[in-house]
Structure 1
Amino acid sequence: MRRLLRAAAATAAVGLALAPVVPADAAVPGPGPNQWWFASWSIQKEVWPVTKGKGVTVAIVDTGVNAQLPDLKPAVVPGGDVTGKGGDGREDFDTHDNGHGTGMASLIASQGTRTGFVGIAPEAKILPITSPSVNGPYTGKAIRFAVDHGAKVVNLSQGSGGADAYPNQCPPELLEAIKYAAEKDVVLVASAGNDGNVDNKPNYPGSCPGVLAVGALARDGKPWASTQRQSYVTVGAPGADVGWINKAGHAYDSGAGTSQASALTAGAAALLRSHDPKMTARQVVQRLTNTAKDFGAPGKDDQLGYGVISIPRALKQSVPANAPNPVYERLDKVAGTTKTGGGSSTAPSASKDDSGSGGLLLIGGIVVVVILVGGGIFLLLRRRSSSSAPPPASSMPQNFGAPQQSPYQTGPQGQPYGQPPAGPPFGGGPNPPPGR
């Protein structure tokens, strides 16, 4: 199993001695000084006045979450453990990344109570599910648990490089659980992988049909060097120069990995579902895909997919019912089903077509042929061209917002997994785990 979190050396000590401890019952504070994605997404100005994630539960399938931390205690609800050890997920058993599951939860729903590090959907609830091993039975069971216990979004910031060993790049047990989640209207988000500049093997569950796979963007507006280069990558999100809170309650100011990109995207999905509870899982994924901001190589690419998600635009802009929805198109193809209506995954789209042509002229030509030969011909057009692009750049959000222009130097990449950033935590020193 590959844990998808790489620590980058922090470049500056940011002391939250400068930021006072926030009382537990106070309003959620603003973000920490190095949480640059807040400004880029205009979270405080355009997102939080509309939604903070209230009413949505996000499952974290990971190493567990330390629910005793003041930053997370109000958000974390009892979850489960699919390893057979028992427990309800509210303890982080990570021994490699010093609290991977806690870190992902902090990016989504931290209250900033002790550290000042705030999640993008602080009113969402976190359902922790301990499942540190990535394989068909464990991960599939974890997804089913999440679905059956009220999660509307599931984050899978983990992966295995053995995807090519399975049909559809997905273990059969896991694929069945993904189908179950789709039937129950639950969004699944996963990290794309952290070996794009090494062996670049497809990682599941990100490679599985029906899962929104997320690549990592750096603060300089470029794809993170190690983000996976795979056709299954659908969107991107901040992943390099992105810190987290570890299980001991330390908030670090930097780190790198598609894990963080996945968690932030899961938080974005929670914000959309909170804002519009009638929006289906298919529509959420379709909206995030078609309102993304094109970064990296022009058009759809294998590092950031259709672009970096834009939460303000996704909240404000609707998209056509037949807009591209490659995540569910692929799942429907595997499942042998056709979905129509809002968020249709099989509706015609100029940016997804295996035929290499398409549009109304092709459809009209087929109709003429059908009439000429006397009918009885049924043609199903599936639009899945990997070289096609989402809506033109002119319709993209003008800022993702745009990454901040000031340079932000990263430290050396490739530190051993499990090592926290070399720089000091936000707090300037250890904070003892509360309640211990």
Structure 2
Amino acid sequence: MAVLMVMATSSPGWASAYPRPLEQQWWFTTWGVQDRLWPITQGQGVTVAVLDTGVQASIPELSGVVLPGTNATGGGGDGRNDLDDAEYPGHGTGMASLIAAQGTGTGFVGVAPRVKILPIVTKGLVGAASAIRYAADHKAKVISLSQAKPGACPTDVQDAVGYALERDAVVVAGAGNDGATTNASMYPANCLGVLAVGAVDYKFRPWAQTQRQPYVTVAAPGAEVGSVLMDGKFHTSSGGTSSSTALTSAAVALVRSEFPKMSAREVVQRIIASARDVGAPGKDNQTGYGLIRPYRALTEKVPKNSPNPVFAGYDKWAGDKKESAAEGSKSNSSIPTAWRSLAILLIPAAVIIALIVFFTTRSRRRPAPAGFPHPGPYPPSGGPYPPPHEGVRSPPPGQAPVPPPAAHPQFIPREGAPPQGAPPPRQQPNPGSPDQWDAPDRRP
């Protein structure tokens, strides 16, 4: 009996180690999480970085799951307190619970309950670039961003995504929730190399508000997906691509757990290749290549030449960047060569001109007229006059000395302004709720 109890709590394939999910967790049925996925893996050995409002590590559902992280907004703390101030606060905690809840409080269970959560506060996407780099440096194999803002991908965020990909992390982000209205292009979902996720309902139909954008790669359950918030209670929700992002991150973590030597590039390729086409036939702007199917991603053989548009776009960007840097370096290296060639031509000419000037001036010298005193170190009055200090012109009588010109112009900046020539301080996005674009109807 003792042996059986140990097996039940330690064997990664023993699904009964966790309670059955709540009735509201319909994605467990859709994906066959408990019956098909957990006998293969429950996410052990994988760290998932959750970049959000922080994660309330003290609630029972996340006991023993949350690692010390950081606050990328500069507010202090290690990310293990949720700083959300919404009406029903706890957005980051809700995303973490979708990934790794233990079922010990409310019975709510995460899709990958044996992963570790690395919480990083990026409230309102403030500090997103540094947060992505931090996650990559701390060995996160999956970086989950259930946040989005309208606009093109900022350069620093794109560079950070590239940094994470080169360190073998999969970056997942929500497509956005205003597809039925403004349908703006959102970052970081539109950054190259990001696995951008749309949302579907339990009938595999595109969620009405999911973004309609070319960058959408796959879709996952997002409509009517509730979660456990920072009060430790389960809350229902009308839906959002925040939730579909967290569930996709959990599914990716399962694949990374089962295939620890598989690169991030291959994992993304496998997720795309095993997706089920939903919505409009073929690749569409709401669901991308279709609904992800974790069981197929874990079990099917994926051809090496399967399309991987996520990394294809990133590879082109990275290649163009390297080519541009190489051209700049080549251009800079040619400057000293040009100067050397110019010096070879000009130095002899300068010597010849100097000799001509010297001999011409010497031939024109005449002795001073008789009776005219030769200039000496003192003024004509005969009184002592100190020799001029270096760089200061001797003043006419009765005038103050003239200060020497400065070696470089000096600028006195206005109070609070940067010095002349210095780059202006980078403006951070205004702090705000990270889910301004994702305002679900959360009811206690």
TM-score (norm 1): 0.70
Structure 2 CA distance, aligned partners of 1:305 and 1:415?
24
The 5 A counterparts of 1:316-395 are 316-336=299-319
1:151 aligned to 140, 159, 169, which one? 140
Q: Which residue of 1 is the match for residue 17 of structure 2?
A: 27
> 1:74 deviation in Å?
1.4
CA contact 2:108–2:228 (8 Å) conserved in 1? yes
d(CA) in 1 for partners of 2:175 and 2:436?
Answer: 19
Q: Please show how residues 266-285 of structure 1 align to structure 2 within 5 Å.
A: 266-285=249-268
Question: CA distance change for structure 1 residues 416 and 61 in 2, over 3 Å: closer, same or farther?
Answer: closer
- Contact preservation (8 Å) 1:54, 1:274: yes
2:203, 2:34 → 1: CA distance? 21
Residues 94 and 230, structure 2, Cα contact 8 Å, conserved in 1: yes
- Name the residue aligned to 1:79: 69
Q: CA deviation at 1:133?
A: 2.2
**Cα distance change on mapping 1:337 and 1:28 into 2, 3 Å:** farther
Whole-angstrom distance in 2 between the partners of 1:94 and 1:198: 26
Once the two structures are TM-superposed, the CA of residue 416 in structure 1 deviates from its matched residue by 9.9
Equivalent position amino acid for 1:105 in 2: A
Matched, 1:112 2:95: no
- Equivalences for residues 102-181 of structure 1 within 5 A: 102-134=93-125, 138-163=127-152, 170-181=153-164
**Alignment match of 2:269 (pick from 268, 286, 302):** 286
Structure 2 counterpart SS, 1:178? helix
Do the aligned partners of 1:95 and 1:418 also contact (CA within 8 Å) in 2? no
CA drift of 1:205 comes to 0.1
Q: Distance in 2 between matches of 1:415 and 1:28?
A: 34
Q: Secondary structure at the match of 2:234?
A: coil
* Structure 2: runs of 5 or more not aligned: 1-8, 11-15, 322-434
The CA distance in 2 between the partners of 1:419 and 1:306, in whole Å, is 25
1:48 aligns with 2:31: no
Q: Which residue of 2 aligns with 1:36?
A: 26
Rg comparison, structure with higher value:
2
CA distance in 2, matches of 1:93, 1:318: 43
Give the 3-state SS of the residue equivalent to 2:133 in structure 1.
Answer: helix
SS at match of 1:133: helix
| Distance apart, 1:337 and its partner CA | 6.8
Is the contact between residue 98 and residue 418 of structure 1 (CA under 8 Å) also seen in structure 2?
Answer: no
What are the superposed Cα offsets for residues 348-407 of structure 1, whole Å, 9 maximum, x if unpaired?
xxxxxxxxxxxxxxxxxxxxxxxxxxxxxxxxxxxxxxxxxxxxxxxxxxxxxxxxxxxx
- 1:224 paired to 2:207: yes
SS at match of 2:228: coil
1:363 counterpart residue number: none
Distance 1:146 1:173 in 2: 15
Letter of the structure 1 residue corresponding to residue 254 of structure 2: L
Q: For 1:48-106, what per-residue CA distance to the aligned partner results, in whole angstroms no more than 9, with x for missing partners? A: 00000000000000000000001002111111111111110000000125110000000
2:83 counterpart of 1:93:
yes
Name the CA distance, whole Å, in 2 between partners of 1:48 and 1:67.
Answer: 24
| Aligned-partner Cα distance in 1 for 2:314–2:74 | 30
Residue identity in the other structure for 1:321: K
Cα-to-partner distance string for 1:110-164 (whole Å, 9 max, x where unaligned) = 00100111000000000000111225xx11100001011121100000010122x
Q: Distance in 1 between matches of 2:238 and 2:44?
A: 28
What residue number does 1:304 align with? 287
Secondary structure, aligned partner of 1:129: strand
Q: Which residue of the partner structure matches residue 190 of structure 1?
A: 173
> What is the correspondence of 1:178-257 to structure 2 with a 5 Å cutoff?
178-257=161-240
How big is the shift at 1:253? Answer: 3.5
**Secondary structure in 2 aligned to 1:98?**
coil
TM superposition shift of 1:46:
1.0
**Local SS of the residue matching 2:98:** helix
Deviations 1:200-239 (A, max 9, x none): 0110000100100000001122100000000000000000
Aligned equivalents of 1:309 and 1:419: distance in 2? 23
**Structure 1 residues 220 and 231, CA gap change in structure 2 (3 angstroms):** same
Cα–Cα, structure 1 residues 79 and 222, in superposed 2: closer, same or farther, change >3 Å? Answer: same
- CA distance in structure 2 between the partners assigned to 1:254 and 1:160 by the alignment: 21
Q: Report deviation, 1:421.
A: 2.4
Q: How many residues align?
A: 317
Give, as a single letter, the amino acid of the residue that structure 1 aligns with 2:128.
Answer: T
What displacement does 1:30 show? 1.4
2:118 alignment partner AA: L
For residues 311 and 188 of structure 2, the distance between their equivalents in structure 1, rounded to whole angstroms, comes to 14
Report the Cα distance in structure 2 between the residues aligned to 1:421 and 1:90, rounded to whole angstroms.
22
**Contact 1:93–1:99 (CA under 8 A) maintained in structure 2:** yes
Q: CA shift at 1:420, angstroms?
A: 5.0
Q: Is the 8 A contact 1:98 1:419 kept in 2?
A: no
1:318, CA displacement in angstroms? 2.0
Q: Check whether the contact 2:242–2:438 (CA below 8 A) recurs between aligned residues.
A: no
